[in-house]
Amino acid sequence: MAVRVGSKVRAQVTIVEQGRARKRLDSLAAEEPLEIRLQAGGQTKTVAVTMRTPGADFELAAGFLYSEGVVTERGLIRHISYCVDPEVDAEQRYNIVNVGLHLAELPELATLERHFYTTSACGVCGKASLEALEIRGCSVLPDGPVVEPGLLYGLPEKLRKEQTLFESTGGLHAAGLFSATGELLCLREDVGRHNALDKIVGWALLNRKLPLADCILLVSGRASYEILQKSTVAGVPIVCAVSAPSHLAVDVARQFGVTLVGFLRGERFTIYAGEERIRLP
């Protein structure tokens, strides 16, 4: 029987090695649904359900709502809390987050219809488009910092050293926010790479640090459309990934002036857009 402790689950497994089998307890990355509810004007409405690793849930909710244009500034958020509805099973209350807004009524949520159910694996289910970013008023990012290649070389190792949950479970993505001098500012882990980024955006929003105009983002996996979409909304000028970007991620980077780096491993990387922010030899 698996038992969850925080962001990890302890489960008995069987290890088969060199023809021998042995049982032991192993740590797994926890994955549970998080329902995000909006409250305003005496109304409550569920806007999304995402599969996530429990932890930093308030940041995740805030970052998701900011990334999707529902919350545009910190001042709109009145409170964030877990569910206290007595009719909800006690074990599920920590899988429901209420976000209260300083508004007389709930905002227009038509743009969130495609987001009602998301998965930790693929993010939002449904087609995404560059037009959606343009409609929301996203503009080309300002010039931002210029960094040395050597600074980028060192980021994956810094990220890896701070991935405490990955160290014990081996099953989590990470997103790390760095300063233009390579200092780690914020790191979040999750079974979903887009959730890890939403947690960082939420951290920045709740601490009034947006836009992230002088920062570098590193994600531990590939760079998808959603990673670039959320980074662009948060104003991150340089986005790096350990693996490859998708073609739509490259399109977003080129259209909105983001520097996109892929395959950042060892002393090598590939620039897909915005090479002017990297001081090339």
pLDDT in tens, 207-234: 999 999 999 999 998 999 999 999 999 9
Q: Could you tell me the domains of the chain? A: 32-125 (3.10.20.10), 149-277 (3.40.140.10)
In which band, very low, low, confident or very high, does the pLDDT at 163 lie, cut at 50, 70 and 90? confident
Beta strands 184-190 and 173-179, pairing class:
antiparallel
> Do 83 and 57 touch, CB atoms closer than 8 A?
no
What average pLDDT does the structure give for the chain?
A: 87
Total number of residues shown for the chain: 281
- Looking at residue 242, its pLDDT comes to 95
Q: Enter the tokens of residue 58.
A: 């308030």
Q: What is the mean pLDDT of residues 48-58?
A: 93
> Do 62 and 79 touch, CB atoms closer than 8 A?
no
3-class SS of residue 269? strand
3-class SS of residue 27? strand
Q: What is the mean pLDDT of residues 54-62?
A: 96
Among candidate residues 195, 178, 183, the one with its CA nearest the CA of residue 62: 195
Question: Over the stretch 113-148, which tens digit does the pLDDT of each residue have?
Answer: 555 555 555 444 334 456 777 767 788 999 989 999
In which band, very low, low, confident or very high, does the pLDDT at 169 lie, cut at 50, 70 and 90? low
- Looking at residue 120, its pLDDT comes to 52
- Looking at residue 1, its pLDDT comes to 44
- The answer on pLDDT for 17 being more than 90 is no
- Looking at residue 26, its pLDDT comes to 80
> Do 140 and 256 touch, CB atoms closer than 8 A?
yes
Among candidate residues 144, 146, 148, 182, the one with its CA nearest the CA of residue 281: 148
- The answer on pLDDT for 75 being more than 80 is yes
Query: Which residue among 122, 186, 215, 240 is the active-site one?
Result: 122
Rounded to whole angstroms, the Cα distance separating 123 from 224 reads 9
Q: Enter the tokens of residue 45.
A: 């409405």
Cα 186 to chain centroid distance, Å, stands at 12
- Looking at residue 89, its pLDDT comes to 74
In which band, very low, low, confident or very high, does the pLDDT at 28 lie, cut at 50, 70 and 90? confident
Q: Is the Cα dihedral 196, 212, 204, 253 positive or negative?
A: negative
- The answer on pLDDT for 170 being more than 90 is no
Among candidate residues 180, 193, 166, the one with its CA nearest the CA of residue 259: 180
Q: CA neighbours within 13 Å on the CB side: how many for 78?
A: 11
Q: Residue 90: in which H helix or E strand, if any?
A: none
Q: What is the mean pLDDT of residues 194-206?
A: 97
Output phi, psi for 196, to 5 deg: -60, -40
For residue 215, indicate whether it is catalytic: no
Indicate the DSSP class of residue 103.
S
Highest mean pLDDT out of 49-63, 86-100, 112-126, 134-148: 49-63
Q: Largest Cα–Cα distance of the chain, in whole Å?
A: 66
- Looking at residue 3, its pLDDT comes to 47
